[in-house]
Amino acid sequence: MSRETAATKADRLLATRSVAVLEVRPDRVLAEVRGDHDRYPVIHDGRRWRCQCPTPLGRPCSHGIAAAAVIHREDPVNRSQAIQELEQLIEWTKATFFEGRCPRCEGLSAVPGPNTMTLKTSSPTSEARRIAFGGSLHAEGCPVPYLEDRGDELGARFGIDIVYNSFRSPDHLDKGYFGPVAVIKRGEPHQGWTADEMGSWE
């Protein structure tokens, strides 16, 4: 029996009407999702979805994906625009790593130690009001640090996945990149791994 992915579980939660939207404001959305074992509050704080379920940090959460799908049903973005948006975020992510500056927000890179990218996001610090992401600093409001979250939302709506892989740029042979490289239709053959595939390693 194959393992149920976060996206397929989110589809099941939507089919069983397990998402209740409790509050919608410009800077905050609150929903409650009835999962398999409990009810989980899911909050969007204007930047990303956060859920109180036990899914490990950095892994896609079915409750967040389902809540996002309900909230964004009226979003006019179509599948082609979703792919273009994610492809642009991927290009900005790679440029930030290799060039040391985010083209979107002009955030400066600050990579200590090994020159590899990790895709874990942390909250903005109150002191600098910057966002640490993959060893780089992005200005507040920059969408690049939230590529994974946006990928989860759009992926659930349009059946697409972000593929992650490693490579070295001919112009930057001293830097080994591991991160997002492409957007595919879910289930298409690909070189690399989707977030769900990487999650199955654990």
Closest CA to 145 of 78, 76, 92, 202: 92
Q: Which of residues 24, 55, 74 is at a domain's end? A: 74
Segment 10-41, tens digit of pLDDT: 889 988 989 988 887 767 788 899 998 899 99
Question: Residue 200: is its pLDDT beyond 70?
Answer: no
Closest CA to 9 of 64, 74, 47, 57: 64
Could you tell me if 88 and 122 lie in one domain? yes
Query: Taking each helix axis from N to C terminus, what angle separates 6-15 and 147-158, rounded to the nearest 10 degrees?
Result: 50
pLDDT at 116: 39
pLDDT at 91: 93
Identify the three-state secondary structure at position 74: helix
Q: Structurally, how many domains does the chain consist of? A: 2
Residue where the block lists tokens 């759009």: 154
Could you tell me if 19 and 64 lie in one domain? yes
Q: What is the pTM of this model?
A: 0.57
Q: What is the CB-side half-sphere exposure of residue 186 using CA atoms within 13 A? A: 18
pLDDT at 89: 92
Closest CA to 66 of 32, 27, 36: 32
Segment 92-150, tens digit of pLDDT: 989 888 887 788 887 665 544 444 333 333 333 322 333 444 455 677 778 888 888 88
Segment 63-89, tens digit of pLDDT: 988 888 887 655 556 888 889 999 999
In a domain, residue 1? The reply is no
Could you tell me if 62 and 89 lie in one domain? no
Could you tell me if 105 and 161 lie in one domain? yes
Q: Which of residues 58, 74, 90 is at a domain's end? A: 74
* Alpha helices, H only, 5-158: 6-15, 62-71, 79-99, 147-158
Could you tell me if 84 and 167 lie in one domain? yes
How far, in Å, CA of 61 to CA of 20, rounded? Answer: 16
pLDDT at 120: 36
How far, in Å, CA of 67 to CA of 193, rounded? Answer: 25
Could you tell me if 195 and 109 lie in one domain? yes
Closest CA to 70 of 119, 121, 34: 34
Domain that holds residue 29: 6-74
Could you tell me if 11 and 39 lie in one domain? yes
pLDDT at 84: 92
* pLDDT classification of 8: cutoffs 50, 70, 90: confident
